[in-house]
Amino acid sequence: MIHAILVFNNDGRPRLVRFYNDTPLAKQQSLLRQVHALVSKRSPTDSCMLHLEDAHVVYRHYATLYFALLVDEHESPLAMLDLIQVFVQTLNACFADVCELDVVFHWEVVAIALGEMIEAGMVVETSLPKITAAVDLMNGR
């Protein structure tokens, strides 16, 4: 199960935070700080997977944004890396080379895309054409 998706910039400022369980807000903020502290210190040649308390962190760093998934031990880390890649490709298709400001100012499009891919912590769609078609339909394009 996916417990959370965190998108934050190089400074640790959250740009998208979605928890799929009833984690209290204080714990969410603590996890965000912990994940940022761990991944921002890592070299680009280090593994994109690490262990944090009772969850695994799988992340990718693109330009100024980190995309991190907090998952349980039943999820395949490689599948989660692929899911992050599909999410970023979807955002690139929606925004023609997504940047941090797109995530901030067009959060509703980002939320729609994420909602098409993940529901209640479970992956429901990974097809880029289907996800972008659903986003376009909801945006009236």
Does the pLDDT of residue 20 top 90, yes or no?
yes
- Phi and psi dihedrals of 139, rounded to 5? -90, 0
Q: Is 140 exposed, middle or buried (0-12, 13-18, 19+ CB in 10 A)?
A: exposed
What does the alpha-carbon distance between residue 133 and residue 113 come to, in Å, rounded to a whole number? 10
- Average pLDDT of the segment spanning 59-71: 95
Where does the pLDDT of residue 133 fall: very low under 50, low under 70, confident under 90, or very high at 90 and above? very high
Q: How many residues does the chain have?
A: 141
Give the CATH fold of the 2-138 domain.
Beta-Lactamase (3.30.450)
Q: What is the mean pLDDT of the chain?
A: 93
pLDDT of residue 141: 65
**Percentage of residues of the chain with pLDDT beyond 70:** 99
AA letter at 64:
T
Does the pLDDT of residue 121 top 90, yes or no?
yes
Does the pLDDT of residue 61 top 90, yes or no?
yes
pTM (predicted TM-score): 0.92
What does the alpha-carbon distance between residue 121 and residue 17 come to, in Å, rounded to a whole number? 13
At 81 the three-state DSSP class reads: helix
Does the pLDDT of residue 123 top 70, yes or no?
yes
Does the pLDDT of residue 44 top 90, yes or no?
no
What residue spans define the domains of the chain? Answer: 2-138
